[in-house]
């Protein structure tokens, strides 16, 4: 997952730096995808992700209510005559919010740093054996504007993998739906999928502001 969050003047902007779950500075997390479109990877599906400390969700960071703008698109495929190989899909999302706790190592006094998402992309690679999908991993790129700060950018790099699907599970972010006004809230009647998120790197800097694919490649090269 790559999360870029740019943010304006306030009492305590987050501290610039590199923070990693592998180094113990950032909590890993969990996600759900609400199947508003009726199945995985469909238009209107909503992403909800949050940190997980082994007991509680969202104590350090959360991403909520980003909606797929179209069905996922196949962008790469390598399946042999036995049905073994992989397929890679891309899904673009819009809307939604993010938040990181002021108690994190980037904190300078504010209780919470939050904002709105302005760019979000999934690239999911599915592994096939005998034409059946047996595993998947997702890379995410996400950017947004902090509500209160204009000088900082946050980047989150991570991998997400599917664990299950069906009715809303316990100990994962709630399934969500939007009402006629666009407001997003929990909806336990929705079905969907869920999984884990690991290998997270958050980079907070005032130097990175672009979201095009060439820039994303440079960012990932710098912080992998």
Question: Per residue in 7-31, pLDDT tens?
Answer: 554 567 788 888 888 888 899 999 9
- Top pLDDT among 46 and 183 is at 46
**What residues contact residue 7 under an 8 Å CB cut-off, 6+ apart?**
13, 113, 115, 145, 146, 147, 148, 149, 150, 151, 152, 153
Question: What are the tokens at 138?
Answer: 């997702």
**The pLDDT value given to residue 210:** 47
Q: What is the pLDDT of residue 7?
A: 57
Flag whether pLDDT at 158 surpasses 90. no
Mean pLDDT of 34-55: 96
Nearest CA among 203, 157, 222 for reference residue 14 = 203
Output 154 or 100, whichever has higher pLDDT.
100
What integer is the mean pLDDT of 90-108? 91
DSSP-based three-state secondary structure for 216? helix
Kindly indicate the confidence band of residue 78, based on its pLDDT and cuts at 50, 70 and 90. Answer: very high
Rounded CA-CA distance 94/129 in Å is 33
What is the residue-averaged pLDDT of the chain?
86
């Amino acid at each position: 997952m790559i999360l870029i969050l740019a943010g304006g003047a306030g009492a305590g902007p987050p501290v610039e730096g590199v923070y990693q779950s592998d180094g113990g500075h950032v909590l890993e997390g969990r996600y759900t995808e609400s199947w508003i479109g009726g199945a995985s990877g469909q238009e209107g599906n909503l992403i909800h992700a949050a940190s997980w400390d082994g007991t509680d969700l969202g104590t350090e960071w959360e991403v909520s209510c980003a909606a797929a703008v179209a069905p996922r698109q196949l962008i790469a495929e390598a399946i042999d005559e036995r049905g073994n190989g992989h397929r890679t899909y891309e899904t673009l999302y819009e809307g939604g919010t993010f938040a990181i706790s002021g108690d994190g190592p980037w904190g300078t006094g504010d209780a919470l740093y939050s904002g709105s998402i302005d760019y979000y992309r999934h690239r999911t690679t599915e592994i096939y054996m005998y034409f059946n999908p047996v595993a998947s991993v997702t890379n995410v790129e996400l950017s947004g504007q902090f509500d209160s700060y204009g000088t900082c950018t946050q980047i989150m790099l991570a991998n997400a993998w599917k664990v299950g699907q069906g009715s809303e599970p316990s100990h994962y972010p709630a399934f969500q739906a939007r009402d006629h006004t666009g407001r997003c809230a929990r909806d336990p009647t929705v079905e969907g999928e869920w999984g884990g998120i690991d290998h997270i790197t958050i980079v907070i800097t005032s130097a990175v502001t672009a979201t095009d694919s060439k820039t994303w490649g440079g960012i990932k090269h710098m912080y992998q």
